[in-house]
Structure 1
Amino acid sequence: MARGEDIIASARKYLGTPYVWGGAKPGGFDCSGLVQYVFQQHGVSLPRVTYDQINVGSSVPQNKLRPGDLVFFDTDRKRGGADHVGIYVGGGRFIHTPRPGQSVKVSSLAEGYYMDRWMGGRRVPGVSANAASGGGEALEVAPKLDASELAETYGMSYAFFKSQPELWKMLNSAVEGQWDPTRFQSEVKNTKWWKTTSEPARQAQVLAKTDPATYQATLEAARVQARAIAVKAGAIMTEKNVDALARNMVHFQWNEAQVANFVGQYIKFGAEKVLGGAAGTAAREIKRQAYELGVAVTDQSILNNAQYLLRGVTTMEQVQNGLREQAAGLYPAFADQIAAGASVQELAQPYAQMLAQELGQPNVDAFSPKVKAALNRIGADGQPAPMSLTEFAQTVRSDPAWRRTPAAADQTLAVGRQVLADMGLVR
């Protein structure tokens, strides 16, 4: 019969051993590998993986755990079921190999992370513990702890309890009653702090008081990430804005959509009404689409749409559809063609070319007043009736500016020659 205390003593020899996925030897362990290896040293055979280990032995409630019992957690909510295991050492603590990047360590069942993911305890056949005085079932007898020691047992620092008046009052009650981790978990989950604070925020608050250096390093890493996100988006953010974003990323574990929505509020024009980053890319595309559809857009409209796009409030497709609706209203004779995907600049091209040739004007497009008027002419029946190219040519040549063009001079000479030819004066 193996003693639970001896199993714990063996497990403690591997504190600091790094996590290795699939590891089951002293050079590196995963959670179930550590458990299997340590128990094997005491002649107790266990299955290799957590999913099988949880089926060994009998169930033990948390308030009846004793050294050498196994404790199980559901840390991967997507899969469901036990996927993490440790060995109970007493005093509400257990020894385990948490995850990649960490090493074998002792943690508390009262830590918020493990409280939320607790699945159950199991007593392994062939493992015993020291009998309590008076005989009977072997139970753990915990020494009386002061406030500081008890705080550590619950996985939170004394400084953290002092920073939360509600929890500080509860800790004093726990010291007086020497609550076990199960009682503590029950009481803390009934506090206003627990009910109104998300799990990530709780972890961040505890870390800030328990390990200030790590908390500040985490916050600074988030600030660096926040600045990079702002630059990429084209947002102009003050350090105060960056600090606010970093804190939300750490305390609330904001996802990409939440970060984008926050950053999008700070999309602003830089020098010469220019937007940078992703906002600048969006602005250029909006301008291009508006030009192709013959729609004039203001700087403010472009800025608003760029913000909405970065914040995820709208999509480029929705912006384009809005521009098409505007174009259909501006050019009713071509509404069906525009709705079908036609470009107003393409529809206006024959008129633009004629106007450019006749008046010798470069850069003529759908925004030119004469072209726009030709596209939007109203017929005698009050309905849209675009000019034919013949009518448009006559309109252009009636412009005084046309008479000053080389084309007009050439036409006048040609008419003159024809008149003289008709009179037989020239051949």
Structure 2
Amino acid sequence: MATVRGEDIVNTARTALGVDYVWGGNSLTSGVDCSGLVQQVYARYGISLPRTTYNQINIGASVSPNKLRPGDLVFFDTDRKKSGPDHVGIYMGGGKFIHAPRPGASVKISSLAEGYYMDRWLGGRRVSGVSADPSSGGGYAEEVAPRLDAHELAETYGMSYAFFKSQPELWKLLNGAVSAQWTPERFQAAVKNTSWWKNNSDSVRQSQVLAKTDPATHKATMEAARVAARQLAVKMGAILSEKNVDQLAKNMVHLNWQEAQVQNYLGAYVKFSSDHVLGGMAGAAAKAIKAEAYRNGVAVTEQSVLNNAQYLVRGLTTMEQVQASIRQQSAGLYPAFAEQIKAGASIQELASPYIQVVAQELGVPDTDVDVYSPKVKAAMTRANAQGQPEAMNLGDFTQMVRNDPAWRKQPGVADKTLNVGRQVLADMGLGF
């Protein structure tokens, strides 16, 4: 078999630069995928290669990264869900390779020093019959590993040169690494040992890098976070200043705050509006708390309602826990009905017979009477002669209501009283 120069393989591959990625594509002009690019380029020189990456990696001999030369194949494991090679390219020399990266992209040149490809490196293969430029002795010279400059070394960690320059500690480390020509592995280990790395979470580091490497994207990300922060504040009933909005957005992006952390932050800013109402989730919670308190005959202050609404938004309590606390207070205020309250009855329901007596005897709508009415509350919180809780029976309660001067002013009450007196005299054998 005639020997093919690796440089010629590379030059042919270059003709496909800019060609669209097409899954299963085999055309160097209208569309290829990664293994199709490799197969078609080698086919131009009469070298038949398998169609898929999984089979191509079995061709030729293994080559270590520092021994690569133009025309060698480089393989990567880009899908961690399954083992084996998922991507292949053609090495060009100088740490670069040409490949068809993914759907939506086109054939391009990338660097083996990029963090993404370095982390996913699987191996290099040298196809039989492909050589580098012959040396003066007739042999084939191995390519000398390229000297990494500051830009390339920075990129081995997926960070830009501009970012390293913005961090004094990392900038000093980068210059020292370039001067001593550290390997990428040694440089990465040194980065992980810096104070910057140790004192910042992964999300903070990523955000800082993005701000310097792609400021437009970082700006758009922050603005989207501000919009989300404002929307969440309205939803939760929190009132935020622009400074608060900026801080929350920063925490969402830089610290990767999850829902619970965002709600906890917003809970601290749940407050009454200028017209003394709560909005959003806090407002709904406040209404539910007030309704539960009314049903159970428990008086709650506005501050108590606000506190509980804040706790609910922050996730420090649940509505079930708030309701249970209100019922417990109700049982303490109305001890004669404690068992019924604990069983789920509301004090307003238990007060219904007393309310009906007041409404009927005094001629008022039953909607104007509730457990807070003095007569009703007195009857339901009464204690017996022994000091034990004992609600007033309805007969005694009716008589107590009739002792109210308002009762005598009701239409027909005088006639009812006279008829009752006559019946009593008749029962005694006396008449008139």
> Paired residue for 1:123?
124
SS of equivalent residue, structure 2 residue 232:
helix
- CA shift in 2, pair 1:190/1:321, >3 Å: same
- CA shift in 2, pair 1:349/1:114, >3 Å: farther
> Paired residue for 1:39?
38
Counterpart pick for 2:361 among 338, 358, 361: 358
- CA shift in 2, pair 1:301/1:160, >3 Å: same
The residue identity in structure 2 corresponding to 1:25 is G
State the structure with more CA Rg.
2
SS of equivalent residue, structure 1 residue 387:
coil
Q: CA deviation at 1:108?
A: 6.3
SS of equivalent residue, structure 2 residue 73:
coil
- Higher mean C-alpha deviation, range 403-412 or range 416-425: 416-425
Tell me, yes or no, if the aligned pair for 1:132 and 1:140 is still in contact at 8 Å.
no
- CA shift in 2, pair 1:308/1:349, >3 Å: same
> Paired residue for 2:45?
none
SS of equivalent residue, structure 2 residue 269:
coil
> Paired residue for 2:145?
141
The residue identity in structure 2 corresponding to 1:141 is A
Counterpart pick for 2:179 among 176, 179, 184: 176
> Paired residue for 1:240?
243
Q: CA deviation at 1:93?
A: 6.5
Q: 5+ unaligned residues in a row in structure 1: which ranges? A: 28-32
- Higher mean C-alpha deviation, range 357-366 or range 250-259: 357-366
Equivalences for 1:19-418 in 2 at 5 Å? Answer: 23-25=23-25, 34-41=33-40, 42=42, 43-45=48-50, 47=52, 68-73=73-78, 85=87, 87=89, 118=119, 120-124=121-125, 126=127, 130=132, 138=142, 141-143=145-147, 145=149, 147-148=150-151, 150-152=153-155, 154-362=157-365, 363-406=368-411, 408-415=413-420
The residue identity in structure 1 corresponding to 2:145 is V
Q: CA RMSD in A?
A: 3.8
- CA shift in 2, pair 1:322/1:381, >3 Å: same
- CA shift in 2, pair 1:219/1:377, >3 Å: same
Q: CA deviation at 1:256?
A: 1.5
Q: 5+ unaligned residues in a row in structure 2: which ranges? A: 43-47
Tell me, yes or no, if the aligned pair for 1:61 and 1:120 is still in contact at 8 Å.
no
Tell me, yes or no, if the aligned pair for 2:50 and 2:56 is still in contact at 8 Å.
no
Q: CA deviation at 1:324?
A: 1.6
Q: CA deviation at 1:241?
A: 0.7
Q: CA deviation at 1:223?
A: 0.7
The residue identity in structure 2 corresponding to 1:385 is E
Q: CA deviation at 1:37?
A: 2.4
Q: CA deviation at 1:419?
A: 7.5
Tell me, yes or no, if the aligned pair for 1:231 and 1:277 is still in contact at 8 Å.
yes
Tell me, yes or no, if the aligned pair for 1:286 and 1:320 is still in contact at 8 Å.
yes
Give the count of matched residue pairs: 409
Q: CA deviation at 1:8?
A: 9.5
SS of equivalent residue, structure 1 residue 123:
strand
SS of equivalent residue, structure 1 residue 122:
strand
Q: How far does the alpha carbon of each residue in 1:4-23 deviate from its partner, in whole angstroms, 9 at most, with x for none?
A: 774697389455857x8xx3
The residue identity in structure 1 corresponding to 2:348 is Q
Q: Distance in 2 between matches of 1:408 and 1:56?
A: 112
Q: Distance in 2 between matches of 1:68 and 1:250?
A: 39
Tell me, yes or no, if the aligned pair for 1:91 and 1:153 is still in contact at 8 Å.
no
